[in-house]
A and B are shown apart, each in its own frame.
Chain A
Amino acid sequence: MVEIQKVSKSFHKTVKDNTAEIKALADVSLSIRENEFISIIGPSGCGKTTLLRIIDGLIPYDSGAILINGNKISSPGPDRAVVFQTFALLPWRTVLANVEFSLELRRVAKEERTSIARDYLKRVGLEDFEHHYPHELSGGMQQRAGLARALAVNPMILLMDEPFGSVDAQTRQLLQEELLELWQREQKTVIFITHSMDEAVYLSDRVVIMTPRPGRVAEILDVPLPRPRIADDVRRDPKFADLTNYIWDSLKKAMENGH
């Protein structure tokens, strides 16, 4: 469904007349199935976020191709929506107006977008907070609003950029469970960037392990844990520990070979 074929990307960084070329991604290839939950994990600076922005069509890539259902993508489209690490909620809009924002840009009529936004706020448990401003909500609630905004446009593919990276540990676990429930109900393809091994194993069907800069795919790991996954049971499963340990070893190896 999503085909990433040998995608490479370099940035040019200019510091005092010296232009250096930084290779962010080198020949990244990956196929993602429909309705799959796939995580991408790797050390900081491995280009995970760059890869996500390329898939969203926000930045161009140098070579290779990205196909969604056979069509090459080069700009953002209605089939994809992003959940941002820093939530990216507009502080001058209420929670409801923030969720409506994505629909507004898609030219959905006023009444319709309000009812759609209310519906998704309900699904993420924020129905009582629609008239609040983002700064009045906790980090976890803000990210629920960010998730509602992305889901509201009904994308096929949800691109999540370390979405739970800036909330506390307990909230993070709750959000993970909620996300799995939503994903099971909504039937979406999820591409999930994280640096938490635990999170990657708990959520994903497959985990993509990347090398340090330039980012390459070091390994793709299947997560054969049964679904639906009940957080407490899954984490006590000996296979869960084996898988996280395996990712850790693989990451270490990738980092040692990388430089």
Chain B
Amino acid sequence: MNSRFTTNVISIVILAVLWEIAGRTFDSVLIPPLSKIGSAWLRLLTSGKLSANLAMSLGTLAAGFFLAVILGIVVGLLMGRFREVEHFLDLYINAFMSAPMTAFVPVLILWLGLGVESRIAVVFLFAFFVIVINTMTGVKQVDRTFVEMARSFGARETEVFFKIMLPAAMPAIMAGIHLGMGRAVKGMVTAEMLLTLTGIGAMIMQYGSAFATDALFAVILTILMVAMIAMKLVHWLDRRLTGWKAEIAIE
């Protein structure tokens, strides 16, 4: 491991110690000491409550995010490749990009009901647009000489698309997926808190209103860990797919 990892660990240890001290000093329900949060976490874990809810949440996250990645890349590629498609859609995509997604939750409830479909739709909406925009930008920024080179050697349209456009746009697509993953986690929690009280979101609402702050913080820390692991996964995938780009950046 490297010095960055060491610094990360030191930072976490310092924060944990400060938190513990603050918790013990104030002795308030608002700031439970870390040790109490830890034991609450273990309690939730052994009772099976946390894992059951977490599994439910992650299922929603995976389904919504998967759809957002697949459709986002397809729409983004088409928009980047065909000007007509771009002009047809960019108005809506840009509007949705900056609109607060939570505003659409009531609409989704009306359309899709209170079931898992609505929650998947929220995750999808949170992640979809940023993936579209990044993919489109990536395709549009492909070096024209590469396209010309491929045509010169006799490439057909589909070959230009799959052998030039797609690999050249891959770093931008991965950047979109990276951003989309962060938004998807937000979408997941939002859906579970605003739409139907299920999963991790339900636990937050429940412990929050019951002032069970040790359990509340335990759940929040779990969400942070989930988000971090999800990001690491995307990062790992990124390194595998666009290693050539990372090497250029280092030089």
Contact = CB atoms under 8 A, between A and B. Distances in A.
Contact of A58 (B152, B170, B247): B152
B167 interface: yes
Given A133-B244, A133-B247, A135-B251, A90 B151 contact: no
Interface stretch (A75-83, A188-196, A213-221): A75-83
Nearest to B241: A92
A61 interface: no
B170 A78 contact: no
B153 A105 contact: yes
B245 A91 contact: yes
A88 B147 CA distance: 9
Interface residues of B, number: 23
B219 interface: no
Contacts of B247: 133, 135-136
Nearest to A101: B153
Contact of B167 (A80, A86, A90): A90
B228 to A, nearest CB: 28
A88 B151 contact: no
A53 to B, nearest CB: 8
Given A58-B148, A105-B159, A92 B170 contact: yes
Interface in B132-159: 143, 145-146, 148-155, 159
Given A105-B153, A105-B155, A106-B154, A92 B148 contact: no
Contact of B152 (A81, A90, A106, A135): A81
Contacts of A135: 244, 247-248, 251
A52 to B, nearest CB: 10
B151 A92 contact: no
Contact of B154 (A76, A84, A92): A76
A102 interface: yes
Contacts of B152: 56, 58, 76, 80-82
Interface of B: 143, 145-146, 148-155, 159, 163-164, 167-168, 170, 242, 244-245, 247-248, 251
22 contacts: A56-B152, A58-B148, A76-B154, A80-B152, A82-B152, A84-B145, A84-B149, A88-B146, A88-B148, A90-B164, A91-B244, A91-B248, A92-B167, A101-B163, A102-B153, A105-B154, A105-B155, A106-B153, A106-B154, A133-B247, A135-B247, A136-B247
